Chain A
Amino acid sequence: GEDVEQSLFLSVREGDSSVINCTYTDSSSTYLYWYKQEPGAGLQLLTYIFSNMDMKQDQRLTVLLNKKDKHLSLRIADTQTGDSAIYFCAEIVSGTYKYIFGTGTRLKVLA
């Protein structure tokens, strides 16, 4: 089946690192994504990783992919109050270009 799971909440102090985890199910997914949703707004793409990579770094963001365990994580270094939002991981089902989203992790950054 198609199911993408995430933990619901994460709270960190400003300046600390945040790690948001995701478990997906489609082993043939070729691309995996992280989206950010701020209150009242649509989803905004943060970063993505191709399935033949195990790590991708993009400024403060680091994505780690463990294909064997179907586990994806997003690390935000030096977390700021502006990073407070809901973060969704998503996989694209091969052959259909259908995006499947996780349940979302609400990140709260404490000043």
Chain B
Amino acid sequence: EAGVAQSPRYKIIEKRQSVAFWCNPISGHATLYWYQQILGQGPKLLIQFQNNGVVDDSQLPKDRFSAERLKGVDSTLKIQPAKLEDSAVYLCASTRTGPNTEAFFGQGTRLTVV
């Protein structure tokens, strides 16, 4: 099966600009996650979708970050306006529904804010 697709792979923007990331999960996977991984740290969950509904967005900085998952398939994560501290790798993952399902990760989008 095809893996989780993310684009772009790399993005460099200036602070206060906007940026959007796209994720296409594995077909049939109901749960989709966006993680932020700052260099030297573990992935931090930003938002979790179940189909097109939000399950958890408690760590999403909602003043600047937004995410949507239309039709319960693809998802976009947007940052507006970006800050220097947003520089990180943004990882998308998807799983089937259930208590023990492997989370499949995309390769991530490396964002550099200058």
Chain A interfacial positions (CB closer than 8 Å to B) = 4, 6, 30-31, 33, 40-45, 48, 50, 88, 90, 92, 94, 96-104
A104 with B42: CB separation less than 8 A? yes
Q: Smallest CB–CB gap between A85 and chain B, Å? A: 14
Which residue among A94, A96, A98 has the maximum number of chain B CB atoms within 10 Å of its CB? A98
A99 with B107: CB separation less than 8 A? no
**Contact of A42 (CB < 8 Å), options: B42, B50, B108:** B108
B43-92 residues with Cβ-Cβ distance < 8 A to A are 43-45, 48, 50, 55-56, 91
Q: A97-B31, A99-B33, A99-B45 are in contact. Are A41 and B107 (CB under 8 A)?
A: yes
The number of chain B residues with a CB under 8 A from chain A is 28
Chain B interfacial positions (CB closer than 8 Å to A) = 4, 31, 33, 35, 40-45, 48, 50, 55-56, 91, 93, 95, 97-103, 105-108
Interface residues of chain A: helix, strand, loop or mixed (majority): strand
**Contact of A88 (CB < 8 Å), options: B40, B42, B55, B106:** B42
A42 with B91: CB separation less than 8 A? yes
